[in-house]
A = this chain, B = another copy of it.
Amino acid sequence: MPPSLPISRDSQSKLLHILRLSAQIFAQRGFQRASIRDISRATGVSLSGLYYYFESKQKLLYLIQKNAFTSILESLTQRLQSLHEPQARLHLLIQNHLEYFLAHPYETRVLSHEEDALDEPLRKEIATIKRNYYNQAREILEQVVAEVPGSNLNPRLAILTLFGMMNWVYQWHNPDLDPGAEELTNVIVGIFLHGVLPGAPEDTEFHMAELPAADS
């Protein structure tokens, strides 16, 4: 997390300040569209001065993404320590995720949207952290499902679907309109565990044959 060169306390906190503003700019304009000049303007640091804090635009993006993921993972790990009940752990995973997302909307957008903007080898580094997170989530889910006798759930599809619900939030969440992390967590946990319909699922299943097919 510290830049390759500087060590001082001031320098560190200035870097963090730059990362924060850069995340905002990348979120608003997109990584490719945003120019280092934009960041220079926003931070008040001269164009060349920025390069004292990061070696390249790519590396800047990398630092933002790594910082964000580390933040989420550390908080999750710490909070999970005291929880052992499977459903409680799943609830926490979702809540932790959404709390970060709603508290850091810019970093979130960069995380969710600019995954592919990184070139190798930085891309792989981030992918590794991500996979780590994904595996942890999947384990938690599998323990929830393990309690249900006779479930034939595909855990890969289930967890990716869950991530879809959560990660898409950055595309639509309006803080003036939509609920905060706590209530949003309850909604998503509710849908993920029990769906929007209560009661027996058996008689609501449809089969392709009954549906009209697309033309092409």
Complex interface residues of chain A between 69 and 122 (CB less than 8 A to chain B)? 75, 78-79, 82-83, 87-88, 91-92, 95-96, 99-100, 113, 115-117
Q: Report how far A141 CA is from B187 CA in the complex, Å.
A: 16
Other-chain contact of A195, B78, B160, B193, B215 (Cβ < 8 Å): B193
Contact-size category for A: 35 or more
- Across-interface contacts of A157 in B (CB, < 8 A): 178-179, 184, 187
- Across-interface contacts of A164 in B (CB, < 8 A): 164-169, 171
Query: A48 near B: Cβ within 8 Å?
Result: no
Q: Check A172 against B197 for contact (C-beta < 8 Å).
A: no
Q: Report how far A204 CA is from B192 CA in the complex, Å.
A: 12
Interface centre among A96, A164, A179 (most CB of B within 10 A): A164
Q: How far is the CB of A191 from chain B (nearest CB, A)?
A: 6
User: Given A157-B187, A193-B201, A193-B204, are A214 and B99 neighbors across the interface (CB < 8 Å)?
Assistant: yes
Q: Check B191 against A158 for contact (C-beta < 8 Å).
A: yes
Q: How far is the CB of A77 from chain B (nearest CB, A)?
A: 11
What are 10 A-B interface contacts by the 8 Å CB criterion?
Answer: A79-B211, A83-B212, A95-B208, A96-B214, A151-B196, A154-B179, A157-B178, A160-B168, A160-B172, A165-B165
